[in-house]
Amino acid sequence: MRAVLVRQPGGPDALEVVELPVPVPGAGQVQIRAEAFGVGQPDVLIRRGVYKWMPPLPANPGNDVAGRISAVGHGVVGISVGQIAKSIIFRRKSDESAVLVITSGDKRVDEKKVDALVGKTGRADADFVKARTGFTIGGVSPVGHVTKPVVLIDRELFRFEEIWAAAGHPHAVFQLRPHDLEKLTGAPVADVV
């Protein structure tokens, strides 16, 4: 992963972009795939080496962050990655229909299994997803699409009493039960992983 570090105090040239291994969350920790950072006055003071509560160097500025949970450590209470209902859109080659596969967050869709159920599919780019669903990638809700997609629900979601699905925006989700998802979409439950 790419990170910005301050190894020694200084001006803007003290900021160094480096490649680091992706950390693994420890017990009680949540890993966030950061998409936006807030850099404020404390970060500037850290870079200059004059912050009242100076962290040990090297330091990583930008502690205010927005992103998505990508992994959880042991003992994190409340939600597991598997409870995240990912909405994956494919493009069916025969008729250009959107194929929505709602899968468990800890699983990877097997495209061959999807193809066996709905016909040959291909990857959908961001423009296709937006045009067919009305949502941007990362916020595709399982319901409320501009054009009704072909929908498959991953049976792996039924391991959980409660799941969380995107609510039309990359930073909004809603809670429901897998059976509610089945009723809302009218979609079949299938082995897609």
What CATH code is carried by the domain that includes residue 125?
Answer: 3.90.960.10
Regarding whether 116 and 173 lie in a shared domain, the answer is yes
Regarding whether 68 and 19 lie in a shared domain, the answer is yes
Regarding whether 93 and 178 lie in a shared domain, the answer is yes
Of the three residues 50, 72, 94, the one that is the final residue of a domain is: 72
Q: How far apart are CA 11 and CA 47, in angstroms?
A: 7
Ordered DSSP codes for 4-51: EEESS--SGGGEEEEE-PPP---TT-EEEEEEEEE--HHHHHHHHT--
Of the three residues 72, 102, 132, the one that is the final residue of a domain is: 72
Torsion angle of C-alpha atoms 2, 29, 156, 180, degrees rounded to 10: -110
For the chain, how many structural domains are there in total?
2
The count of other CB atoms within 10 Å of the CB of residue 22 is 9
The count of other CB atoms within 10 Å of the CB of residue 78 is 8
Regarding whether 115 and 176 lie in a shared domain, the answer is yes
Of the three residues 10, 38, 72, the one that is the final residue of a domain is: 72
- What pTM does this model have? 0.65
Higher pLDDT pick, 19 / 72: 19
Regarding whether 109 and 181 lie in a shared domain, the answer is yes
Regarding whether 87 and 66 lie in a shared domain, the answer is no
pLDDT in tens, 106-147: 999 999 999 999 999 999 999 999 999 999 888 899 999 999
Regarding whether 169 and 142 lie in a shared domain, the answer is yes
The domain in which residue 50 lies consists of 2-72
Contact status, residue 105 vs residue 68, Cβ threshold 8 Å: no
Instruction: Classify 109 in phi/psi space as left (phi over 0), alpha (psi -120 to 50) or beta.
Output: beta
Q: How confident is the model at residue 26 (pLDDT cuts 50, 70, 90)?
A: confident
Q: How confident is the model at residue 64 (pLDDT cuts 50, 70, 90)?
A: low
Q: How far apart are CA 174 and CA 181, in angstroms?
A: 11
Per-residue pLDDT at 115: 98
Regarding whether 113 and 161 lie in a shared domain, the answer is yes
Regarding whether 151 and 96 lie in a shared domain, the answer is yes
pLDDT in tens, 152-176: 999 999 999 999 898 887 777 888 9
How would you write 74-88 as a 3-class SS string? CCCCCCCHHHEEEEE
Place of tokens 């429901």: 176
Higher pLDDT pick, 74 / 140: 140
